[in-house]
Amino acid sequence: MQEIPRADLAIIGGSSTYSLNFPEDLKDPRVSRISGGAVFNTPFGDSPAIKFFRLGESSVATVKMHGWRPGVGRGVASQQLFWVFREAGVKRIVAEGGVGSINHLLRPRDLMVPSDYIDLSMRKDVGLGGPYLLTMRQPVCPEITGALVRTAEGLYDGGRVFDRGIYAVTDGSHFESRAEVVMLGRSGADVVGQSMCPEVYLAREIGACYGRLDLIVNYAEGVIRDWEHGELKDIFYGLAGKVARIVLEALDGLTPAQGCGCPDLRKETLLK
């Protein structure tokens, strides 16, 4: 079996940076020793291709598009990815993605750092088999989200930055119906996407902190106006570098030390 390199931190790349070759395209002098994408054998099948690089004094693992790929279900891809993260010793995870706006105050090109979620996906009970009871009262790490908000507010000029919001998780790859969007809004959701779950559960299961940055790429169906494919493309390709720079900059200010209380929210199961 191929040896898995150690990594303190991890970046899960989503649609907001999909058009980039990350981190190479940023040409950041702090980034060094980039390994090509390695595939590892896991109990859930072969992993997605994962890169490892140095960011200053920290070792970082990164994957493109959440590890999703043809022929592999999204839940299984997440299990493969987080199994590798666990074996690598990852303690801090930053994810990014593109989401649709349910809250009428959010516009395309705005950024949001989610503070909570509503899981309406069908991918329930996606785990690694650990004997844990996962407490989700603090689903995202306050230290990671704080770093993302501060960095975005200082660097981002493409739109506004929102430091909280509720992320509704649905299955894809289709968009939601107008009736579903109305339901999600009445449930308190601000944005809708497909990746925060099961990632937030798996991060807690492996004892890692999790936070994410999401780019508003369209209005959800029935909100303000119909989305346009051309605008979606412009956002994905035009803002990818800005989002990637924020994620890398925020990560550079983090250490593996977890003084946030996140690891304490993983409890030993009582059902033995």
pLDDT one-digit tens code per residue, 193-218: 999 999 999 999 999 999 999 999 99
pTM: predicted TM-score of the whole model, two decimal places: 0.95
CATH number for the domain including 57?
Answer: 3.40.50.1580
The answer to whether residue 70 sits within a structural domain is: yes
The answer to whether residue 269 sits within a structural domain is: no
**In whole angstroms, what is the distance from residue 72 CA to residue 271 CA?**
31
The answer to whether residue 66 sits within a structural domain is: yes
The answer to whether residue 239 sits within a structural domain is: yes
Q: HSE, CB side, 13 Å, CA atoms: give it for residue 222.
A: 13
The answer to whether residue 4 sits within a structural domain is: no
- Token look-up 């809250």 returns 103
Q: What is the pLDDT of residues 2-27, one digit of tens each?
A: 789 999 999 999 999 999 999 999 99
The answer to whether residue 96 sits within a structural domain is: yes
At residue 36, the pLDDT reads 84
Q: How far apart are the first and last CA of the chain?
A: 32
**In whole angstroms, what is the distance from residue 57 CA to residue 260 CA?**
21
Which residue range is the domain that position 183 belongs to? 9-257
* Number of domains into which the chain is organized: 1
The answer to whether residue 199 sits within a structural domain is: yes
For the ranges 41-45, 210-214, 244-248, 267-271, the lowest mean pLDDT is seen at: 267-271
The answer to whether residue 1 sits within a structural domain is: no
Q: What is the pLDDT of residues 49-105, one digit of tens each?
A: 999 999 999 999 999 999 999 999 999 999 999 999 999 999 999 999 999 999 999
